[in-house]
């Protein structure tokens, strides 16, 4: 009797481990990482972790092609067929043999420890990360193809009121600060430090996640979300974007600055979202269109119905010296911020105080969009849409089918214009470039 219980217990254990292996291998196809790449690896800045040459075979078999993940999955199905068992195997010598099981289970253990078991999945399974499934529809208006993401599950997310943003005061509303330690272990990814400035940041998975692997880079010491991006902020974001591109999964970064920008947390944080299109989100793809552009001068996309200020960045890579990256990004940011301030000043109704704006950063452009309002009220349904930088990247978020249809009828451009400002680029043109004028005669 005792033996029977032990046998049944081992069988259930083996079945559980196989089911987990199939699940982990499936995710391992998408998020390819050799788990032990830090052994013998070198951390370079810029560039991140460079695995040792001795690990090249594992990088090939896990990252370049998911061979180990495929083998793990096949092996798990084979063990399941023996343990369950398949009718054809029931009572056969393989089904009754311990000798067959031992090497198969050892091989399974060896294969599965090689590849990364996703932190995102763990955080989700243990309830620290709330994932809201969604679907995306393309919606073309003029030259831009917007992406409208329908996420009905977000209706159940607790609504956070816009905090009081006071750049001089720490945590002005006195609410718990999610970006202060102690961090939720399952959301904690790691920390980075700016080599020049010594400024430290913590990287955390987004707790309320719509796109898997959405993460945040928050300043370790409290800084206000109403303060501008500083040179080390820009450098660290850019290095992360470079590292992501190198790892084969492009991201873009965004920053909601000020109380009219769609931000809900007062502690300075920049957000990074994975991309399906390596040319960036829709607004970046549009900015790439006028291909012959004068570098080192801001420009505006006149086909968009709201004020937008864009700077095309020079080509930089992991081997570009940090000083140079810092100089280029700071110069771009300051020239765009000047334009944001002059756009805001031109609006007689804009309230006094720090202006709000959204920033979108890709490896090829920095976009700054001045903001007049946080929310847009849909004429048809009366629903309020909170728009953040992702909206101005060309990716709108709606929470119901009715909202989706109302947005399409009202027009995304009109909605963005409703929370943005009128473009005065024609008046600002000195020192900047108009698309039509920026073509270099080749």
What residue ranges bind ligand B4P (CB under 6 A)? 149, 154, 157, 160, 178, 187, 204, 206-208, 210-211, 216, 256, 262-265, 271, 386, 388, 390, 395-397
Q: Which is nearer to ligand B4P, 266 or 298 (CB)?
A: 266
Q: Which is nearer to ligand B4P, 187 or 339 (CB)?
A: 187
Q: Which is nearer to ligand B4P, 51 or 262 (CB)?
A: 262
Tell the smallest beta-carbon distance from residue 264 to ligand B4P (Å).
Answer: 4
Closest CA to 32 of 14, 47, 51: 51
Q: Is 382 helix (H, G, I), strand (E, B) or coil?
A: coil
Which neighbouring-strand residues pair with 44?
Answer: 48
Tell the smallest beta-carbon distance from residue 215 to ligand B4P (Å).
Answer: 9
Long-range contacts of 370-373 (CB under 8 A, 24+ apart): 370/307, 370/309, 370/340, 370/343, 370/344, 370/420, 370/421, 371/258, 371/260, 371/261, 371/262, 371/419, 371/420, 371/421, 372/260, 372/347, 372/419, 372/420, 372/421, 373/260, 373/418, 373/419
Contact assessment for residue 36 and residue 63, using Cβ atoms and an 8 Å cutoff:
no
Tell the smallest beta-carbon distance from residue 360 to ligand B4P (Å).
Answer: 12
Q: Which is nearer to ligand B4P, 115 or 306 (CB)?
A: 306
The first and second tokens of residue 255, run together, are 């920053």
Tell the smallest beta-carbon distance from residue 372 to ligand B4P (Å).
Answer: 17
Tell the smallest beta-carbon distance from residue 133 to ligand B4P (Å).
Answer: 12
Q: Which is nearer to ligand B4P, 302 or 381 (CB)?
A: 381
Q: Which residue has the closest beta carbon to ligand B4P? A: 178
What is the helix (H) or strand (E) element at residue 332, kind and residue range?
Answer: helix 322-346
Q: Which is nearer to ligand B4P, 141 or 338 (CB)?
A: 141
Q: Which residue has the tokens 């977000």?
A: 154
Tell the smallest beta-carbon distance from residue 425 to ligand B4P (Å).
Answer: 26
Q: Which is nearer to ligand B4P, 72 or 118 (CB)?
A: 118
CA dist 207 and 123 (Å) reads 9
The first and second tokens of residue 102, run together, are 């031992």
Closest CA to 438 of 306, 321, 298: 298
Tell the smallest beta-carbon distance from residue 252 to ligand B4P (Å).
Answer: 11
Q: Which residue has the tokens 């898997």?
A: 212
């Amino acid at each position: 009797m005792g033996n029977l219980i032990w046998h049944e217990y081992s069988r259930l254990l083996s079945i559980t481990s196989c089911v987990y292996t199939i699940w982990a291998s499936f995710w391992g196809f998408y998020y390819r990482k050799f788990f032990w790449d830090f052994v013998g690896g070198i951390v370079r800045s810029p560039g991140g972790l460079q695995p040792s040459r001795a690990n090249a075979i594992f990088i090939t078999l896990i990252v370049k092609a998911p061979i180990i993940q495929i083998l793990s999955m096949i092996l798990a199905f084979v063990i399941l067929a023996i343990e369950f068992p398949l009718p054809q195997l029931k009572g056969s010598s393989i089904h009754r043999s311990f000798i067959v099981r031992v090497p198969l289970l050892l091989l399974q253990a060896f294969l599965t420890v090689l590849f990364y078991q996703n932190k995102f999945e763990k955080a989700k399974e243990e309830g620290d990360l709330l994932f809201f499934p969604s679907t995306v529809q393309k919606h073309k208006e003029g030259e831009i193809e917007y992406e409208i993401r329908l996420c009905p599950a977000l209706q159940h997310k607790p609504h956070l009121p816009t905090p009081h943003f006071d750049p001089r005061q720490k945590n002005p509303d006195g609410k718990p600060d999610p970006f202060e330690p102690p961090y939720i272990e399952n959301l904690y990814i790691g920390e980075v430090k700016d080599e020049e400035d010594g400024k430290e940041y913590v990287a955390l998975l987004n707790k309320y996640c719509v796109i898997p692997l959405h993460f945040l880079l928050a300043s370790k010491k409290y800084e206000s979300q109403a303060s501008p991006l500083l040179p080390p902020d820009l450098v660290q974001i850019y290095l992360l974007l470079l590292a992501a591109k190198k790892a084969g999964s492009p991201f873009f970064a965004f920053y909601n600055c000020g109380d009219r920008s769609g931000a809900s947390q007062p502690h300075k944080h920049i957000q990074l979202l994975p991309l399906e299109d390596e040319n960036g989100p829709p607004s970046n793809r549009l900015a790439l269109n006028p291909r012959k552009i004068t570098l080192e001068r801001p420009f505006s996309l006149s086909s968009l119905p709201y004020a937008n200020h864009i700077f095309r960045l020079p080509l930089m890579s992991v081997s570009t010296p940090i000083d140079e990256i810092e100089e280029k990004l700071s110069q771009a940011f300051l020239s765009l911020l000047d334009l944001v301030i002059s756009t805001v000043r031109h609006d007689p109704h804009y309230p006094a105080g720090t202006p709000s704006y959204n920033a979108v950063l890709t490896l090829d452009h920095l976009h700054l969009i001045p903001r007049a309002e946080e929310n847009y009220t849909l004429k048809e349904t009366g629903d309020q849409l909170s728009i953040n930088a992702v909206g101005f990247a060309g990716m709108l978020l709606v929470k119901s089918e009715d909202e989706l249809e109302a947005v399409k009828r009202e027009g995304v451009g009109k909605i963005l214009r409703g929370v943005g400002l009128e473009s005065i680029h024609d008046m600002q043109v000195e020192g900047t470039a108009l698309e039509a004028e920026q073509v270099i005669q080749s």
